[in-house]
Amino acid sequence: MATTRPITRFTLFGGVVVLLLCLSVFPSSGQAPKDTNLVHVEAYASHESINATGSFQITVVANIKQGFHINSHKPLNEFLIPTVLRLNETRGIAFGSIYYPRPKQVLFSFSPKHLSVYDGKISIFAECKVSENISPKNIKVSGVFTYQACNDQMCFMPESICFEIPLKIVKAD
């Protein structure tokens, strides 16, 4: 009895070690990565506190996983799903132009035609203005980042990521 216990423990330990090795050797064997891991989005405002009547900028930073791309805001093909930033209507805030980054024209092995895409880290900017008649308070600006990601072999379902940015409206000087 005394000898079986350490062997059992050792066997279990061996199993766990092999399991960890397997997971590291075959991280995606036969499986596609989950789409939510492909693009990570963060949104910021240029100021934490904004005067009534003041202007500010919203920046949405999207980190696209290495080896993947998303369509640009203006894809070269009418059927492709563009990357779009939408800001939800917020009382007292007027949204201006949205500026998308310059896309890359890339050739992939499956196609003789270039695709207009974003990869790596991209930033999208939106102009915003606080209206005169808003009283000082804390508000939230929210929006949706929509994209459709692919790699050089396959595409993933279109996704939308919602975000919220807390803002403090202060009295104008």
Partner 1 sequence: MVAVGGFLIGIILFAQVANPVHKIFDPLQVKNLVSIKQFFSAKIPEGVSAKVPDLIITTIEGEQLMLKELAGQNQLVVVNFWASWCSPCVEEMPHFEKIHRDYQNKNVTFLGIATKDLLPAVEKFIAQRNITYKIAMDDQDKIATAFGGVKVLPTTIFIDKQNNIVKVHKGYLSQRELDKNLKNLLH
User: Total residues at the site for partner 1 (CB under 8 A)?
Assistant: 38
Q: Shortest approach of partner 1 to residue 33 CB, angstroms?
A: 9
CB 80 within 8 A of CB 108: no
Residues between 36 and 75 that touch partner 1 (CB under 8 A) = none
Q: Least distance (Å) from partner 1 to the CB of residue 32?
A: 5
Closest to 80 measured CA to CA, from 93, 91, 66, 69: 69
Provide the edge-to-edge strand list for the sheet that holds 55-64. Answer: 39-45, 55-64, 121-130, 93-99
The least CB distance from residue 38 to partner 1, in Å, is 11
Does residue 81 touch partner 1 according to CB under 8 A?
yes
**CB distance 85 to 126 below 8 Å:** yes
Q: Does 19 bind partner 1 (CB under 8 A)?
A: yes
**DSSP code of residue 30:** T
- Binding residues for partner 1, rule: CB under 8 A, are 7, 10-19, 21-23, 26, 29-32, 34-35, 77, 79-81, 108-111, 115, 148, 150, 153-158
